[in-house]
Amino acid sequence: MVEKGHSQAQRLSHLPLMYRIIILGAGRIGEAVALELSPDYAVALADHNEDRLHALGAKLKVVTAVADLSDLKQIEKAIEPYELVIGAVPGFLGYVMARTVIDAGKNLVDVSFFEEDPFTLDELARKRNVIACVDCGIAPGLFNMMVGHEDTRMKLNSMTCYVGGLPANPQPPWYYKAPYSPVDVIEFYKRPARIMENGKVVVKEALSELETIQLQLGTLEAFNSDGLRTLLTTMAHIPNMKEKTFRWPKHAEYIKVLRDSGFFSEEPITVNGQQVIPRDVNSQLLFRQWKLNDDDDEFTVMRVALEGDKGNVTYDVFDKRDKQTGLSSMARTTGFTCAAVARLFLEEKVLSPGVQAPEEIGTAGHFSEVVERLRRHGVRIERSEIQARQ
């Protein structure tokens, strides 16, 4: 899909070790990326929250820049001195941010998980001779790399990814705490889920096809979510693929009632003579109840089940909050995966100008390097295989 070339790598080969990186977004994920990269590279953090920047500047080896990342001019100004940009903004800002970065001729590793098709930016990236690695989190991201890696080993017939970030002690009525922006969580519950069935892309309602999964940590529910993204293009030869989100029992039932009753609508309504958007109001209300506090125990769990002509392979991933750094498991698994991909780029192992999907990291033979980086931080990743009978 993207022509392979080495002009970008040739330019990078002359850069010193202290390669200049700017992270757009100083939330938990941006912090995790900075924590991983700042010991070896010159890293800057940009965000509109001055207090947050001050706190991170005091504990990490980074410089900080105040910038409104919803303002394209401010993005352009912020990234101008840097060679590599890492996108860690909320999803609703992601696509425009990525397009702005690429158009400015800057290389990008992105984890913002925007709704739009990232491949629509491929032509611009090749035109600007830059590399844009998209969806570099845990899901999408790490699980895509697993699919890409196994796809080089055997003919895959099906893949299902189950993933979720959850509180260790779920409390009613929600049985949930949000490890990232509630606005993004709500969008996730609204966005139709695209899955692959018998070689065809099928669109199903988010939160649909609820099933119960028994894991060692307890009984969880899983429902359809729109996480396949680039796999629908790059791995279209796999006839059956789906991604499902893990939650504790009862949460999906309550959320579906809210969604279907219009609480997450973006259509303005008039209340006491004032126009309000239900989603904006309710995301603020839910944030108060879903906010993940610094002392909350929580975990991220992912299971990727693949079936192929040589047998069945299962990956199990588990992580929990790091009490020393205060980073949540979702921030760790997402941010450290993003940082691992950034390191591949900095080591000149991602060489193709254009948009790069994370599964291409797997097919290119770099999956084990990403896994090793995550394991160094204590993320548990286990692979099991049942070989097909001959």
φ, ψ for residue 121, nearest 5 deg: -100, 0
Q: How confident is the model at residue 155 (pLDDT cuts 50, 70, 90)?
A: very high
Residues 6+ positions from 128 with CB-CB distance below 8 Å = 102, 103, 104, 105
Q: How confident is the model at residue 349 (pLDDT cuts 50, 70, 90)?
A: confident
The per-residue pLDDT for 12 is: 39
CATH topology of domain 142-329+379-387: Dihydrodipicolinate Reductase; domain 2 (3.30.360)
Under the banding of pLDDT at 50, 70 and 90, the label for residue 188 is: confident
Residue 115: the pLDDT is: 87
Q: State residue 92's pLDDT score.
A: 87
CA dihedral for 282, 284, 287, 289, sign (positive or negative):
negative
pLDDT in tens, 58-97: 999 999 999 999 999 999 999 999 999 999 998 889 999 9
Q: What is the pLDDT of residue 293?
A: 80
Residues 6+ apart with CB under 8 A from 347: none
What's the whole-model pTM score? 0.90
What's the mean per-residue pLDDT of the chain?
A: 91
Whole-number pLDDT of residue 2: 31
CA atoms within 13 A on the CB side of 139: 29
The percent of residues above 70 in pLDDT, for the chain, comes to 94
Kindly report, residue by residue over 304-327, the tens digit of the pLDDT.
Answer: 999 999 999 999 999 999 999 989
Q: CA 351, 231, 336 angle in degrees (round to 5)?
A: 60
305 pairs with which residues across the strands?
Answer: 160, 314
pLDDT of 95-130, one tens digit each? Answer: 999 999 999 999 999 999 898 999 999 999 999 999
Query: What pLDDT, in 10s, does the model give residues 352-385?
Result: 899 999 999 999 999 999 999 999 999 999 999 9
Q: For position 18, what pLDDT does the model report?
A: 59
pLDDT confidence of residue 3: 32
Which residues neighbour 114 within 8 Å (Cβ) at sequence distance 6 or greater? 91, 92, 93, 94, 95, 98
pLDDT at position 5: 35
Separation CA 60–CA 314 (nearest Å): 36
Task: Specify the DSSP class assigned to residue 84.
Answer: E
User: How many residues are given for the chain?
Assistant: 390
What pLDDT, on the 0 to 100 scale, is given for residue 37?
96
Residues 6+ apart with CB under 8 A from 376: none
Whose tokens are 């005091």? That residue is: 58
Classify 374 as helix, strand or coil.
helix
* Cα(93)–Cα(20) distance, integer angstroms: 23
Backbone φ, ψ for residue 345 (5° rounding): -65, -45
Q: Residues 112, 335: contact at Cβ < 8 Å?
A: no
For 132, the token pair is: 């844009």
**Phi-psi region at 105: left, alpha or beta (left = phi > 0; alpha = psi -120 to 50):** left
**pLDDT at residue 17, as a whole number:** 47
By percentage, how much of the chain surpasses pLDDT 90? 82
Q: Under DSSP, is residue 262 helix (H, G, I), strand (E, B) or coil?
A: coil
Give phi and psi for 137, each to the nearest 5. -110, -145
The predicted pLDDT at position 390 comes to 65
> Which tens digit of pLDDT belongs to each residue from 253-303?
999 999 999 999 999 999 999 999 999 899 889 888 888 887 889 999 999
Q: Has residue 55 got a pLDDT over 80?
A: yes
Which fold, 7-137+330-376? Rossmann fold (3.40.50)
Separation CA 32–CA 271 (nearest Å): 41
> How much is the average pLDDT of 226-253?
96
* Domain assignments of the chain as residue spans, ordered by start: 7-137+330-376, 142-329+379-387
Peptide bond into 140 cis (omega under 30): yes
What pLDDT shows up at residue 372? 97
Instruction: Tell me which residue has tokens 């080591």.
Output: 347
pLDDT exceeds cutoff 80 at 30: yes
From CA 343, how far away is CA 336, in angstroms rounded? 10
Is the bond leading into 172 cis (omega within 30 degrees of zero)? no
Among 195, 216, 249, 207, CA closest to 316: 216
- Provide the pLDDT for residue 4: 33
State the DSSP string of 170-190.
--TTT---BSS-HHHHHHHHH
Q: What is the pLDDT of residue 329?
A: 95
Encoded amino acid at 319, one letter:
D
> What pLDDT, on the 0 to 100 scale, is given for residue 194?
96
Q: Do 346 and 340 form a contact (C-beta atoms < 8 A)?
A: no
pLDDT value of position 352: 85
